[in-house]
């Protein structure tokens, strides 16, 4: 305080400047604090708004009936989500089955085997490819994947393995679960690689060296020393990728066929939830309850993704902390 007054006496910026600085400080602390609550508040508000808008369809039937109902006839007021939920699960699960093994092997290679030069080229490349818009993946799917599935994979696999219902095909086009999964698989590979790479490199160097010093091969060091530590984190990366795939709209919508029936084979068309919303927003105001049904679909997506995300983000954090320890 003493100094402040002497400064004023000397004609320098004094007490009023100090007050101004502190006022700025207090206002900024309050404002920044409020702004930082925005993501949390927004997420909650989003859930509430969608729930309120979806409410009208729960008046005719229970939530359980809606989730398991198999008929989707908006004009007759029948809104069964089951075909769409099944479609989403088929496409997403198959995509993960296709994507996870190569993505993890690639990550292990990049983190444990590749030399610095390869790594320096590959890492930015993976990030770059994660930036490609989903509509471009969709274009690629339409040009390459759909004909590949329709003309080659489906006839070939169903003639050899057609006795298994999973590979049976009566769909002459390539617009199918498998096409959607292949496109989606390629989209989530960069996500899995980017996250699980970060986890693997946090495992302390010394663990590998200790294993190698005992005479193990590199692969043995990886499976016995590195992976046990990194596994929770890799699992979280996979769950995060699953939830990313779960909500992906455009790329899947363009190649999956969009037929409102639960698929029973990987060559059947499917109609995932995001595609349902995107395809029908135009008519939704002209048919009663249709808008609430679509907002209900958005709510289902939101709830599922929120649950998966919260679990995987928390798991990832503790996994990284433990891997580094």
Partner 1 sequence: MTGNRTVFTGKRTGSKRKHLEERFFKGLMLLSCLAVAGGLGAILLTVVVKGLPGLSWELLTQTPKGGFYLGKEGGILNAIAGSLYLALGATALAALIALPIALYLEVYAPGSRRAAVIRLSLDVMWGIPSIVYGAFGFTVMMLVGLRASLLGGILTLTLLELPIMARAMDEVIKMIPMELKESSFALGTTRFEAAVKIMARQALPGIVTGMLLAFGRGIGDAASVLFTAGFTDRMPTSLFRPVASLPLAVFFQLGMPYKEVQERAYASALVLTVIVLGVSLGSRLLARRLARNVVQ
User: Applying CB under 8 A, which part among 67-75, 95-103, 161-169, 201-209 lies near partner 1?
Assistant: 95-103
We find the least distance from the C-beta atom of residue 66 to partner 1, in angstroms, to be: 17
We find the least distance from the C-beta atom of residue 46 to partner 1, in angstroms, to be: 5
User: What residues are paired with 257 via a beta bridge?
Assistant: 270
Distance CA 11, CA 169 (A): 89
Q: By CB under 8 A, is residue 214 in contact with partner 1? A: no
If the CB atoms of residues 110 and 178 are measured against partner 1, the closer one turns out to be 110
Q: Kindly tell me the burial class for residue 314, based on how many C-beta atoms sit within 10 Å of its own C-beta (0-12, 13-18, 19 or more).
A: exposed
If the CB atoms of residues 9 and 37 are measured against partner 1, the closer one turns out to be 37
Q: Which tokens belong to 28?
A: 């900024």
* E strand or H helix that includes residue 3: helix 2-9
Judged by CB under 8 A, the number of residues near partner 1 is 83
> 309 by DSSP, 3-state: which?
helix
133 Rama sector, left if φ>0, alpha if ψ -120 to 50, beta otherwise: beta
CB 272 within 8 A of CB 84: yes
**Exposure on the CB side of residue 71, measured as CA atoms within 13 A:** 6
Find the binder of partner 1 among 70, 109, 172, 213 (CB under 8 A).
109
Distance CA 293, CA 84 (A): 12
User: Residues 296 to 315: which contact partner 1 by CB under 8 A?
Assistant: 298, 301-302, 305-306, 308-310, 313-314
Distance CA 23, CA 39 (A): 26
User: What residues are paired with 270 via a beta bridge?
Assistant: 257
Q: By CB under 8 A, is residue 228 in contact with partner 1? A: no
Find the binder of partner 1 among 2, 11, 39, 75 (CB under 8 A).
39
Q: By CB under 8 A, is residue 108 in contact with partner 1? A: yes
If the CB atoms of residues 94 and 295 are measured against partner 1, the closer one turns out to be 295
Find the binder of partner 1 among 278, 287, 289, 315 (CB under 8 A).
278
We find the least distance from the C-beta atom of residue 10 to partner 1, in angstroms, to be: 17
User: Residues 238 to 257: which contact partner 1 by CB under 8 A?
Assistant: 240, 243-244, 246-250, 254
Q: By CB under 8 A, is residue 9 in contact with partner 1? A: no
Cβ–Cβ contacts within 10 Å for residue 39, how many?
Answer: 9
Find the binder of partner 1 among 91, 94, 96, 110 (CB under 8 A).
110
Q: By CB under 8 A, is residue 201 in contact with partner 1? A: no
Using CA atoms of 271, 275, 280, 281 in order, give the dihedral in degrees to the nearest 10: 160
If the CB atoms of residues 68 and 217 are measured against partner 1, the closer one turns out to be 217
We find the least distance from the C-beta atom of residue 290 to partner 1, in angstroms, to be: 13
Q: By CB under 8 A, is residue 174 in contact with partner 1? A: no
If the CB atoms of residues 26 and 264 are measured against partner 1, the closer one turns out to be 26
We find the least distance from the C-beta atom of residue 270 to partner 1, in angstroms, to be: 16
Q: Which tokens belong to 1?
A: 């305080």
> 79 by DSSP, 3-state: which?
strand
């Amino acid at each position: 305080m003493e100094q402040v007054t002497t400064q004023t006496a000397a004609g320098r910026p004094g007490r009023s400047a100090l007050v101004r600085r502190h006022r700025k400080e207090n206002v900024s602390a309050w404002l920044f604090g409020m702004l930082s609550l925005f993501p949390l508040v927004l997420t909650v508000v989003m859930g509430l708004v969608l729930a309120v808008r979806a409410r009208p369809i729960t008046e005719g039937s229970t939530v359980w009936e809606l989730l398991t109902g198999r008929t989707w006839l908006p004009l007759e007021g029948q809104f069964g989500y089951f075909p769409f939920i099944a479609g989403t699960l088929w496409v997403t699960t198959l995509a993960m089955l296709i994507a996870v093994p190569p993505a993890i092997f690639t990550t292990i290679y990049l983190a444990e085997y590749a030399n610095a030069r390869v790594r320096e080229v590959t890492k930015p490349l993976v990030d770059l490819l994660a930036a490609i818009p989903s509509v471009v993946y969709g274009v690629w799917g339409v040009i390459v994947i759909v004909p590949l599935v329709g003309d080659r994979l489906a006839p070939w696999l169903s003639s050899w393995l057609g006795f298994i219902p999973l590979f049976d095909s009566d769909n002459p086009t390539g617009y199918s679960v498998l096409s959607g999964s292949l496109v989606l698989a390629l989209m989530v590979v960069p996500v899995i690689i980017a996250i699980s790479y970060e986890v693997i490199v946090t495992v302390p160097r010394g663990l590998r060296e200790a294993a190698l010093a005992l005479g193990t091969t590199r692969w043995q060091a990886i499976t016995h020393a590195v992976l046990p530590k990194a596994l929770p984190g890799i699992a979280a990366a996979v769950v995060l990728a699953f939830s990313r795939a779960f909500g992906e709209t455009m790329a899947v919508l363009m190649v999956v066929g969009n037929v409102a029936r639960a698929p029973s084979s990987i060559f059947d068309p499917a109609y995932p939830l995001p595609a349902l919303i995107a395809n029908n927003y135009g008519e939704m105001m002209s048919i009663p309850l249709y808008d609430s049904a679509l907002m209900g679909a958005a709510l289902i997506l939101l709830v599922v993704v929120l649950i998966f995300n919260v679990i995987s983000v928390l798991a990832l954090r503790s996994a990284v902390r433990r891997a580094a320890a």
